[in-house]
Chains A and B, each alone.
Chain A
Amino acid sequence: MAVSGVDDDFAGTVGEIVAHLEHDPVLVEEVMGNGHTEAVLDALTAKAAKSSVPVHIVLTKAPPGLTTDNTAEELLTLLHARSGEDGVWFVSTSEVGHTALAVYGDIAPSVDNDELMLAGAVREAREAATDAIRDSCGDCFATPVVEAGLVLDVVNAGLPGTYMENPLTDQQIEAYATSTWQGQGTRSPVGENAEMPTPGLYAVVATVTALCVAVVGYRLVQAVGGVAHRPGSGKGTSASSRKPRPAPDPAKELDRARARASSATKKLSAALGRADDLVDWRRRDTAAACLERAETRTSSDGLLEVVGSLVLAQTGLHALETSEGQYRCCYVDPRHGAADTESPLGGGASVPVCRACAGALEKGAELAPLHEKGRLGNRRPYYEGSTVWARTGFGALGGDWWQQVPR
């Protein structure tokens, strides 16, 4: 059913609208009322009452029978022609919300083109109102009711003398940035539907969180005050011994090694001279080969070469002095002397080491290997390099290794 009383009041034809305007200059129908028809109608009526010139504001559905696309303009023309009333006319029609503005007669004697000046001022004011509305609501826009209000405001403020000038104050503009006047895009959810989580989703979130936090948390708590690790090593060591030892002075290191190498080489040379036929020729042969390679290296500038000279001399002496086995130095650093035992050095390989290094390996303490200078100036254990010494381990790895050493 129809809401009582309202039904028959609807001005559905040009004649009915004109009849309404004869006793009320403002017509706002629900179909164009921006959801607040009563409030808008009251506000526009109050503004119209203040106007010193005749105003006619019509916001309604276009009556049936109009023939053009812009029904607002057509309706305005028809209403003016039917009523013959001069003054300001503003018409807006559903569904598109076309607006039409016209001035008939001279409403401002000091202004030449009343309609142009009014339209320009309203357009500027509308821009300002749109900015004000967007400031508080990005999805909102100025509606035909805003424009109707602005038309009345500009008329009441007096037409500006220059084209495209907004004569309204900021306060007047900002009054339109409210839900009564502004329009808003779709607010209800389209397609998506928020629902409370199911028990299953709670369980998923709780389980994932608990599992991850438990595992990570346990490991982190274990880390608090836990034994620190040497960089790049799988073995634990105490936090206090983590600091790397300061590198010894390379020049002193080289001199010291050279002194040892020279004395060992001289000793071997002398021993070889003394050696008579009582010594097996093969052992003498080995000693001679070692001496030959050792002598050329004692004066080298490379620490590894000098150390190599030392080990070669010791190997030669060992060969002359005893027929059993061959000289095995400490793999970690040949300067440690002869190996006493074998220890695993990672990777499952066991190498001969001195007693001190064996103890360090067992405890997982830091080793003090013979270092070489890497290509980038960094120090690294010689056995990480690719020299003949790394390949042979200075004889620690056994075999007739001296034969691999170039003369």
Chain B
Amino acid sequence: MNRVTRGLVSLGVAAGLAAGSAVLATQVLHDRRADAVAAQGEPLKAEARTDRVVNALAGLADDGVYVAPDARDMLDRAGEKRVARAVAAAQTPVKVVVWTDTRHAGASGFDTVQQLEAGLAESGERGVYLIWQGPENGDINTFGPYGYLTMSPHDEFAGDPSVTLPRLVKRVDGEVRWPERDTESDYWGGVSGGIMAGALIGVGVLLGIGTLYGLFVGTTKRRLPGTWRW
């Protein structure tokens, strides 16, 4: 085998290895992220919901207000009707849940709220939910894609919920923001940016490998057979 053939074979093998490993690496990246996304969604699936969340979602379906049986001492039927009227008047879909703060309804407080939010977002619409658990205790947030609002339960949840909740519901339209989220946003700046960044990082990695090899040669006085050149 003459030198040119040999060099071409080296180039060909290296290119093949490079292409194969790149495909493999992206495949591994894809699979690992897919697993992570799936694992993340697991606790928020419909089957994982507590009966408390299931009942709340069912109760919210018609007029957007749900008062849990244990929370009737916080908001009576008359108060509930006032909240329902405010919800009907709001342009933003608003869901109001009144229930007792508890650590023993089958999920942590955070998980319970996340389950409720996931259930509300299932319809595909977006809106705002308020969860009243007591003064300064509860949650105000958006459901559905990419919204935020500036109200916080710590500041806003005070007084009689039959007065406070309708007032807060009326303010929702003015407080909620639905920013246009650039779904194409890419930290690496798309494929071309990614290739350039990858080349830069790759050169850094190769410098590291070269340094390690240099140290190896320096200490053991042994070198790889063959040369770079054909």
Contact = CB atoms under 8 A, between A and B. Distances in A.
Contacts of A347: none
Nearest to B67: A2
Interface of A: 1-3, 6-7, 9-10, 12, 29-38, 59-61, 64, 92, 94-97, 143-145, 183-190, 193-229, 231-232, 236, 239
A216 B224 contact: no
A95 B71 CA distance: 12
Interface stretch (B120-128, B147-155, B163-171, B189-197): B189-197
B30 interface: yes
Interface string B44-66: 10001011100100110011011
B227 to A, nearest CB: 7
A66 to B, nearest CB: 12
Contact of B224 (A145, A214, A223): A223
A31 B68 contact: yes
B18 A204 contact: no
Interface string B4-23: 00010111011101110111
B181 interface: no
Interface stretch (B138-146, B172-180, B201-209): B201-209
Contacts, number: 276
A198 B185 CA distance: 8
A31 B104 contact: yes
A217 to B, nearest CB: 4
Nearest to B198: A207
A213 B24 CA distance: 12
A64 B74 CA distance: 10
Given A94-B101, A200-B187, A1 B69 contact: no
A1 B10 contact: no
B59 A2 contact: yes
B105 A212 contact: no
B227 A202 contact: no
Nearest to A97: B104
Closest A-B pairs by Cβ, 5 of them? A35-B106, A226-B226, A207-B198, A203-B194, A200-B188
B225 A199 contact: no
20 contacts: A1-B62, A1-B65, A3-B69, A29-B69, A30-B55, A30-B105, A31-B52, A32-B104, A35-B51, A59-B104, A187-B42, A188-B111, A194-B39, A200-B187, A200-B189, A203-B194, A211-B203, A219-B228, A221-B10, A227-B226
Contacts of B9: 221
Interface in B69-113: 69-70, 72-73, 80, 84, 99-108, 110-111
B17 A213 contact: yes
A195 B40 CA distance: 10
B52 A35 contact: yes
A358 B40 CA distance: 73
B105 A34 contact: yes
Given A197-B29, A212-B202, A3 B191 contact: no
A1 B68 CA distance: 9
Contacts of B70: 10, 12, 29-31, 60-61, 94
B51 A224 contact: no
A95 B43 contact: no
Given A1-B66, A1-B84, A202-B26, 17 more contacts: A1-B59, A3-B58, A7-B72, A10-B69, A12-B72, A33-B51, A94-B103, A97-B102, A187-B43, A194-B36, A197-B29, A203-B197, A204-B198, A204-B201, A211-B199, A213-B18, A222-B7
A335 B1 CA distance: 43
Contacts of B228: 218-219, 222
Nearest to B30: A197
A64 B105 contact: no
Contact of A9 (B69, B106, B193): B69
Nearest to A220: B224
Contact of B191 (A9, A37, A203): A203
A6 to B, nearest CB: 5
B61 to A, nearest CB: 9
A4 B129 CA distance: 22
Contacts of A219: 224, 226, 228
Nearest to B114: A188
B108 to A, nearest CB: 4
A2 to B, nearest CB: 6
Among B84, B100, B189, the most chain A Cβ lie within 10 Å of the Cβ of B100
A200 B193 contact: yes
B69 A2 contact: yes
Nearest to A9: B69
A239 B13 CA distance: 24
B194 A204 contact: yes
B221 A6 contact: no
B25 A209 contact: yes
Contacts of A6: 55, 69
Contacts of B197: 200, 203-204, 207
Contacts of A144: 104
Nearest to B56: A3
B38 to A, nearest CB: 9
Given A30-B51, A31-B104, A216 B37 contact: no
A108 B93 CA distance: 59
Contacts of A221: 9-10, 13-14
Contacts of B203: 211
Nearest to A59: B104
Nearest to B15: A214
Contacts of A30: 51-52, 55, 68-70, 105
Contact of B25 (A61, A92, A183, A205): A205
